[in-house]
Structure 1
Amino acid sequence: MTSLTEFFNKPQDESLKGISQKNSIIKRNIIAYMAVNGECTLSELTKELHISVPTITKLVQELVDENIVTDLGKVETPGGRRPNVFGLASSAIYFTGVNVGRDNMTFLITDLQNNIITEKTDPTFELLDRPSCLERICTNIETFLAESDVDRSKILGLGVGMTGRVNPDTGRSYKYFTTSEQPLRELLEQRTGLRVLLENDTRARCYAEYTFGRSKEEHNVIYLHMGRGVAIGIVVDGKLYYGKSGFAGEFGHIPFFDNEIICSCGKKGCLETEVSGIAIEDKMCRMIDKGVNTILRERYDREKSIHIDDIIAAAKNDDNLSIELIEEAGEKVGKAVAFLINTFNPETVIVGGNLAAAGDYIMLPLKSATNKYSLNLVYKDTKFRLSKMSENANAWGVAMLIRNRIIGL
């Protein structure tokens, strides 16, 4: 083997039956098993992968020699011969995750065991559908990789999460940078020299939330993202649900209201037109224009923009108008969530995004409305919780997804 990059990024040809090809596939399976289950013995690998002891012993030793697997020494047993325990070498392989948000970019590098090695945020970034913005995305990624202390040759993949409709299979964004015939994934691969996965940001965060926050009983989860937009990520039987074209989760564009508000998708009455962060910001400005009192009036009069984070902060400072607008959004989205849990019957609904920071102001009306409009048996089966993850979750999730794709999980 000349390099780890060549080993993992080389396409597998299942039609070949040679010993080297078979051994390569077994090695991938060994790495995938350790990535999911952690440290293990040779006998455990033999049992789980249905491979003979001599073959497993030989291939694990090769992985040790290649610094992918570490021999952790003997493990204590009740009696008899003590077996050696093996685990993945965290420093052997790395993956990069980047989230391209509406008003920031987040970058991080993880190891084989999903530990974050380094991270960075660019709060000055603004996502615009312009060639200059695409150039800045590429430059930002190249700069982050160059400035990190991680050996570039050990970085095997780059995951990029973006807002809007994204198809991971075609590698295209269908909301931003759509004028080029070349998929965005291919352009990023050319610029970085890395294998790239382009993924929807909500789906990436959903995977991070599911991976790090789930209990052993959770296999069907809905992640509700309430930021400046509204979307969901869906986990069915422990796997992300994509739909036919990779667009599953466009929850915010359900025609839920009989209003004349034009949504960003071009249609009227979408859920997002009433309950998104942008919708709440617009309502706040209209109410101030009508003379309704709020502690945000001074900011508005100084012609400063009012962000959903400002409204949440005002609510926590007992601003009645801010509390009312957030609670109204919670009640409306709760009715829509009732439709979701009646359809999917998940174990858990996780609420994340900017509005999750509102805590009980959003969760109490959301759960009350969901209870009111859903089937009682289904509602009782469903747990609700706020996101436990930080702002880097989108980048973390997409780093895990490119890792999984490369090592064969």
Structure 2
Amino acid sequence: MASLTEFFNRQESENLKGISHKNNIIKRNIIAHMALNGECTLSELTKELHISVPTITKLVQELVSENIVTDLGKVETPGGRRPNVFGLASSAIYFAGVNIGRDEMSFLISDLQNNIVKEESCPDFELQDRPQCLEKICSKIEQFIESCGVDRSKILGMGVSISGRVNPDTGRSYRYFTSSEESLSQIIETRIGIRVLLENDTRARCYAEYTTSKSQNERDVLYLHLGRGLAIGIVMDGKLYYGKSGFAGEFGHIPFFDNEIICACGKKGCLETEVSGIAIEEKFRKLVSQGVNTILRDKYNANEPIRIDDIIEAAKRDDNLSIELIEEVGEKAGKAVAFLINTFNPEAVIVGGNLAEAGDYLMLPLKSATNKYSLNLVYKDTKFRLSKMGQSASAWGAAMLIRNQILGLA
């Protein structure tokens, strides 16, 4: 067999014909089936893939010899011959995930079964729409790939997530690094030499949340990301929803308020202008400048930056101003979520992002307002839960998505 990279990245349009081409397709289907369903026997593969026993036996043995599939030995049965069970070898194939955040980059390597085997972060970073920043992004990715301890030839793809409007099909960001004729995914792919999928950070995190925490019956889920900005990820019938151009989920930019606050998108009154970490930070500074008391006054007087994480920590220490601002955002967010669940009728709403760290200070007013402004039957049908994932969620989701694309699971 050709190298793993050639094997999985080979396009159907290439001039591959005959038995060899057919067998390669069956092999990929075997790997995809095991990735989705776990360990299985040859008879189970034969039944699920509708391939003859001799062909399945031959191709599985080839995958075993190529160290992609592992023979796990005999499985116990009520009687008769005990069949061998086979599963994917976790160390055969890896995928990289990268999240390009506003003030931090995170990196990870995951195996065939979506387990994280290596992760790092780079806090010394600021996302700017400048060529120097793009150069730093590529350099940091290259450094991680070189030092991650995984054979580079086994890393078949890399998912890269970034904030703002992103079209995964074209590989373009419509907010950052737009001056080049090449798409952002092409630029990184050429530099690093690994196949790249570009994805929106909230959508990538939504997929990671859905994949790792969903119950068996959940098929329609909304992920509400309350960080310094505001966005949603949408899962419909078990799949991410993108919209025509890949821009679905820009919930923070609906005209929700009759105010004169200019949003980052250039319009006034967007939901994000009052329901976001940035909105809390700005209101906090304004109120402190007017003399409102807070345990963060010394930090303010010293002209040190006060971020949403500082305000959340102050709320946990019973700072009244911080608690009031977070609860106010929770109430406004809940009214907006009522609109969402009335529209989509999801099974679950997952709340993540920096503000999720505020716990009940955010969730109690959010759920109360959602209950008040939504249809009663819809609210009762919707579960609410806080994200339990860490900072690596977007990078992990991006790695899962490139894995699915390469294995044909998308």
Give TM-score scaled by structure 1 length: 0.99
Shift of 1:182: 1.1
Distance 2:143 2:15 in 1: 41
Q: Deviations over 1:199-225 (max 9, x none)?
A: 000000000000000000111000000
> Is 2:222 the counterpart of 1:222?
yes
Paired position in structure 2 for 1:36: 36
- What is the aligned-residue identity percentage? 78
> Is 2:72 the counterpart of 1:58?
no
SS in 1 for 2:161: strand
Distance 1:181 1:264 in 2: 25
Aligned length: 409
Distance 2:135 2:30 in 1: 39
Matching residue's letter, 2:42: L
Aligned positions of 1:174-323 closer than 5 A:
174-323=174-323
Shift of 1:134: 0.4
Paired position in structure 2 for 1:88: 88
Paired position in structure 1 for 2:367: 367
Distance 2:16 2:155 in 1: 28
Distance 2:14 2:21 in 1: 8
Shift of 1:2: 2.2
Shift of 1:148: 1.4
SS in 2 for 1:335: helix
Distance 2:65 2:102 in 1: 45
Q: Deviations over 1:206-255 (max 9, x none)?
A: 00000000000111000000000000000000000000000000010011
Paired position in structure 2 for 1:99: 99
Distance 1:49 1:262 in 2: 55
Shift of 1:14: 9.1
Matching residue's letter, 2:254: I
Shift of 1:158: 0.9
Distance 2:208 2:2 in 1: 32
Distance 1:267 1:11 in 2: 43
Matching residue's letter, 2:362: I
Q: Deviations over 1:161-196 (max 9, x none)?
A: 001111101111101111111111111111011100
Distance 1:196 1:180 in 2: 17
Matching residue's letter, 1:368: S
Matching residue's letter, 1:128: Q
SS in 2 for 1:252: helix
Question: What are structure 2's unaligned runs of at least 5 residues?
Answer: none
Paired position in structure 1 for 2:140: 140
> Is 2:114 the counterpart of 1:114?
yes
Distance 2:84 2:296 in 1: 64
Shift of 1:16: 6.2
Paired position in structure 1 for 2:48: 48
Q: Deviations over 1:236-292 (max 9, x none)?
A: 000000000000000100110000000000000000000100000000000011111
Paired position in structure 2 for 1:169: 169
SS in 1 for 2:110: strand
Paired position in structure 2 for 1:325: 325
Shift of 1:298: 1.0
Q: 1:289 to 1:214 in 2, by over 3 A?
A: same
SS in 1 for 2:274: helix
Distance 2:361 2:148 in 1: 40
Matching residue's letter, 1:137: I
Q: Deviations over 1:15-62 (max 9, x none)?
A: 966221111111111101100111001111111111111111111111
Distance 1:17 1:159 in 2: 30
Matching residue's letter, 1:150: V
Distance 1:80 1:215 in 2: 36
SS in 1 for 2:212: helix
Matching residue's letter, 2:262: I
SS in 2 for 1:275: coil
Distance 1:49 1:263 in 2: 52
Paired position in structure 2 for 1:358: 358
Distance 1:2 1:206 in 2: 35
Shift of 1:102: 0.4
Q: 1:17 to 1:153 in 2, by over 3 A?
A: closer
Matching residue's letter, 2:342: N
Q: 1:16 to 1:146 in 2, by over 3 A?
A: closer
Give TM-score scaled by structure 2 length: 0.99
Matching residue's letter, 1:398: A
Shift of 1:77: 0.6
Shift of 1:13: 3.5
Matching residue's letter, 2:238: G
Q: Deviations over 1:305-348 (max 9, x none)?
A: 11000000000000001000000000001000001101111110
SS in 2 for 1:260: coil
Quick check: 13-22 or 69-78, which moved more? Answer: 13-22
> Is 2:4 the counterpart of 1:4?
yes
Aligned positions of 1:73-84 closer than 5 A:
73-84=73-84
Shift of 1:117: 1.2
Distance 2:263 2:293 in 1: 28
- 4+ residue runs over 2 A deviation: 13-17
Question: What are structure 1's unaligned runs of at least 5 residues?
Answer: none
